[in-house]
């Protein structure tokens, strides 16, 4: 691969706050690795309170972040708008991550208006479970789609999907047939013992009990309403186990659904809810945990699944995640149905079999090396960039 900086790429994402989980982690690692491989990449984003400066040296001068003062729900920033108006022509390609927010929508609109090549990564927003469930913002999203995001999707040079399943869902909308599939990057911290060994804090010295770990946004999609009653039953048999949930609450789901469930099953002393943590702390949770569980009703990629795998942690997840078929075929995770009985049986089997744990970890390591190799993923991305720019 050539390391000559041939073109400038601007990645646009609404926020880099760690509370938004996967997309933030993905884009930072993507741009970091693109720079290493000679792609001249930058990030445009917003912040609401204080600017996030917790970046590596290679990224500090490449992140343009502007404060949201008004209309924070859509991440509106007048300064970001001015920046795009004045600087969008300085970039050869605009890579947009997400929808339904001002930064991503406006960047796509300007790119379309001035015929600047642009890619939109849809981040699972068209999964049926999301589009069929009414929420407070459901009507607003539909209006936003009709007036802004659908025209932007139609005019995009390419649409990026995280899986074949997501690609097939998007194709049914008949908005744009120029689609490519690219998996997410896994932060090098989780894969390289030489890098992460100096950051180990061995939290298992403070947490002296076995535990099941969940990492992700706390909302209806993640299946925590299944996990809580399942863990209640599991903990009666495995009395020393606890459940640790790390992630931000969306739409007051923690307050309105999860806390009442924990109270109902009388397991308050066995469930720990923690706010999002940085990668260094998260690495230690993965390393200290006994099982990772992702009981999602829907998951376009599920980056925490593969972070856990990278840390040699056996994974239990449902057949509703987009990569379930591939994981089952490679026996890289214990795949169950998205219901209480199936999830309970899966957790029991993994927790009671050292042989099964070792097999899952071994196969997961092989799967990551084969399918999530960073050089292959960078080459795939660069190939699609060049294909667009040639036109």
Q: Whose CA is closest to 222, among 250, 192, 183? A: 250
Give me the residues paired with residue 292 across strands. Answer: 213, 315
pLDDT recorded at residue 134: 59
Burial of 356 (0-12, 13-18, 19+ CB in 10 A): middle
- Helix (H, G, I), strand (E, B), or coil: what is residue 120? strand
Cα(202)–Cα(102) distance, rounded to whole angstroms?
41
Could you write out the DSSP letters of every residue in 313-334?
--EEEETTBTTHHHHHHTT-SE
Residue 143 CB partners (closer than 8 Å, separation 6+): none
**Domains of the chain from N-terminus onward:** 8-185+373-390 (3.40.50.2000), 188-371 (3.40.50.2000)
Q: How far apart are CA 21 and CA 312, in angstroms?
A: 21
pLDDT at position 198 is 46
pLDDT along the chain (391 residues), means of 10: 67 85 79 88 89 68 90 90 96 95 96 96 79 66 85 96 91 94 79 49 64 93 95 96 92 91 96 88 90 92 91 95 93 96 97 96 93 86 91 75
Task: Give Cβ neighbours of residue 215 (< 8 Å, ≥ 6 apart).
Answer: 21, 246, 247, 282, 285, 292, 304, 307, 308
Indicate the helix (H) or strand (E) that contains 351: helix 340-352
């Amino acid at each position: 691969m050539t390391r000559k900086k041939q073109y400038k790429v601007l990645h646009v994402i609404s926020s880099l706050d760690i509370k938004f989980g996967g997309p933030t982690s993905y884009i930072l690692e993507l741009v970091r690795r693109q720079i290493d491989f000679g792609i001249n990449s930058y990030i445009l984003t917003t912040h609401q309170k204080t600017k996030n400066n917790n970046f590596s040296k290679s990224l500090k001068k490449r992140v343009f972040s502007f404060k949201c003062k008004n209309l924070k729900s859509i991440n509106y920033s007048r300064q970001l708008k001015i920046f795009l108006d004045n600087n969008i022509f300085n970039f050869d390609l605009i890579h947009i991550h997400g929808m339904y927010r001002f930064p991503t929508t406006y960047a796509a609109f300007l790119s379309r208006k001035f015929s600047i090549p642009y890619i939109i990564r849809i981040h699972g927003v068209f999964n049926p479970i999301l589009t069929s469930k009414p929420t407070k913002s459901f009507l607003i999203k539909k209006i936003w789609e009709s007036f802004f995001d659908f025209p932007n999707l139609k005019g995009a040079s390419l649409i990026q999907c995280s899986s074949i399943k997501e690609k097939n869902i998007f194709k049914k909308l008949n908005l744009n047939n120029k689609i490519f599939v690219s998996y997410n990057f896994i932060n090098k911290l989780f894969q390289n013992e030489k890098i992460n060994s100096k950051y180990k804090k061995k939290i298992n010295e403070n947490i002296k009990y076995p535990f099941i770990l969940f990492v992700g946004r706390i909302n209806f999609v993640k299946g925590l309403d299944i996990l809580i009653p399942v863990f209640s039953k599991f903990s009666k048999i495995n009395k020393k186990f606890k459940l640790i949930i790390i992630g931000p609450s969306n739409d007051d789901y923690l307050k309105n659904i999860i806390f009442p469930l924990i109270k109902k099953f009388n397991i308050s002393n066995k469930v720990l809810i923690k706010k999002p943590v940085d990668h260094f702390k998260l690495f230690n949770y993965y390393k200290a945990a006994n099982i990772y569980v992702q009981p999602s009703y829907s998951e376009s990629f599920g980056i925490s699944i593969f972070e856990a795998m990278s840390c040699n942690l056996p994974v239990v997840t449902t057949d509703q995640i987009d990569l379930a078929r591939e994981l089952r075929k490679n026996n890289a995770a214990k795949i169950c149905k998205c219901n209480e009985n199936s999830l309970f049986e899966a957790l029991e089997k993994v927790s009671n079999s050292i042989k099964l744990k070792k097999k899952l970890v071994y196969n997961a390591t092989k799967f990551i090396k084969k399918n999530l190799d960073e050089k292959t993923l960078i080459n795939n991305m660069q190939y699609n960039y060049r294909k667009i720019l040639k036109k």
